[in-house]
Amino acid sequence: MYIRKLKLNNFRNYSLLELELGQGICIFVGKNAQGKTNLLESCCLVSMARSHRTSRDRDMIMLSKEHASVAVECVERDGVHTVEICLTQSERKRIRVNGLPCKRVGDMMGQIKTVVFSPEDLDLVKNGPAFRRRYADIYLSQVEPVYFYQLTKYMQVLKERNELLKQMAFKPDEASLEVFDEMLAQAAVPVIEQRSRFIQRLDPVCREIHLALSGNTEELKIEYAQCSQSDAEGIIKGLASTRSGDIKRGSTHVGPHHDDIAIKLNGTDLRFYGSQGQQRTVALSLKLAQLELMSREIGESPILLLDDVLSELDPIRQRHLLNRLTGMQTIITTTHIIPELASVKNKTVYTVNSGSIKKSNN
């Protein structure tokens, strides 16, 4: 799988860009604030219908412009797929896949599969549970698109239950709350089951990668840490037990929106203990495991997006990451060509300067 053509119109600092990409390693070099990350962000948008940097679509539209668009041609095992996304200041994004409009965002999920690795991901271990849930949710939404709808349904019911809880502080409505408890429990079960199965598949892959990274000195264990039961009946009982507190706080405290991914290194929970070096090595292991597991499950390599992350890794970790890039398209942004990149074969180098991109000599 690789992006063959990319076209941007009024996207961030690109008024108009048409770019052809190679199948191997594409390196975009330039000073900060020239548009390197914007380019990578456009690839995230056509893959996941959202940015990896902002939750607001209008942030991606060039200043003083009403519209922006991103369009790609992606070559996959079964042929060429096209995805086009149009953003506006006042309306919802419009999406076309293979020339046909999508009524729902979920209809485009899984068309173009990517794994994104940015400096923020190096804090995946020490950041809060929401970051680790998002790690699992993004993977599942791409590999098993039905999960996107399951998660969306759960989050919608959760939002409505929380709105009811706020109202109940002034006007009790136990009957309606019981209905929402049932709805929330039913919506939660597939989310929990899918996440749990994903972590079970991920654990052995991540453990093997981490052993190699740590020189066979550290054993990693990944587990899904649930805050509730896995079955609907158990979740309903949990919701009933926290009902008075939920009404008082105006929010729901039982369900997969509070779950986490437990990360243990030699039996010690690394979320709360461990050096920065250990946490960063585990974060790299998680990303590499995500990449390898996705390749196995879809039967071809996804596109790897490295957003200025190599400069944050030491030479050993740089080499370990780069050694795994064989046979996949990798889009790398960097301020300079580090020695490990200079020796990489099958690469194309581009220079980025104020929203302008030129192909350079390797």
**What pLDDT, on a 0 to 100 scale, did the predictor assign at position 19?**
95
Amino acid 9: pLDDT: 97
Do the beta carbons of residue 249 and residue 177 sit within 8 Å? no
pTM of the model: 0.90
Give the CATH H-level superfamily of domain 119-301: RecF/RecN/SMC, N-terminal domain (1.20.1050.90)
Question: Mind spelling out the 3-state secondary structure of the chain?
Answer: CEEEEEEEEEECCEEEEEEECCCCEEEEECCCCCCHHHHHHHHHHHHHCCCCCCCCHHHHECCCCCEEEEEEEEEECCEEEEEEEEEECCCCCEEEECCEECCCHHHHCCCCCEEEECHHHHHCCCCCHHHHHHHHHHHHHHHCCHHHHHHHHHHHHHHHHHHHHHHHCCCCCHHHHHHHHHHHHHHHHHHHHHHHHHHHHHHHHHHHHHHHHCCCCCCEEEEEECCCCCCHHHHHHHHHHCHHHHHHHCCCCCCHHHCEEEEEECCEECCCCCCHHHHHHHHHHHHHHHHHHHHHHHCCCCEEEEECCHHHCCHHHHHHHHCCCCCCCEEEEECCCCHHHHCCCCEEEEEEECCEEEECCC
Q: What is the mean pLDDT of residues 336-351?
A: 87
Q: What is the pLDDT of residues 45-77, one digit of tens each?
A: 999 999 988 889 999 999 999 999 999 999 999
- Confidence grade of residue 361 (pLDDT, cut at 50, 70, 90): low
Which has more confidence, 145 or 236?
236
Residue 188: pLDDT band (50, 70, 90) is: very high
User: Residue 264 pLDDT > 90, yes or no?
Assistant: yes
The pLDDT confidence band at residue 342, using thresholds 50, 70 and 90, is confident
Strand partners, 74: 3, 81
Query: Is residue 84 over pLDDT 80?
Result: yes
What dihedral do alpha carbons 4, 57, 33, 313 form, nearest 10°? -70
- Token pair 């995805």 is found at 83
Instruction: Output the six-digit token pair for 3.
Output: 């992006």
- 116, 52 contact by CB (below 8 A): yes
CB proximity list for 331: less than 8 A, separation 6 or greater: 3, 21, 26, 28, 39, 40, 43, 303, 304, 305, 306
What is the pLDDT at residue 362? Answer: 59
Q: What percent of the chain shows pLDDT beyond 90? A: 70
Give the domain ranges of the chain: 1-113+302-362, 119-301
Among the CATH numbers 3.40.50.620, 3.40.50.300, 3.40.50.170, 3.30.70.141, which is that of 1-113+302-362? Answer: 3.40.50.300
User: Using 50, 70 and 90 to split pLDDT, how confident is the model at 360?
Assistant: confident
Question: What confidence score (pLDDT) does residue 254 get?
Answer: 95
Q: Which of 95-104, 256-265, 309-318 has the lowest mean pLDDT?
A: 309-318
Which tens digit of pLDDT belongs to each residue from 268-290?
888 888 788 888 889 999 999 99
Average per-residue pLDDT in the chain?
A: 92
Same fold, 1-113+302-362 and 119-301: no
| Span 15-25, average pLDDT | 93
The answer on pLDDT for 130 being more than 90 is yes
Q: Are the beta carbons of 119 and 305 closer than 8 angstroms?
A: no
Band (pLDDT 50/70/90 cuts) for residue 115 is: very high
pLDDT reading at 313 higher than 90: no
Q: What confidence tier does 341 reach under pLDDT thresholds 50, 70, 90?
A: confident
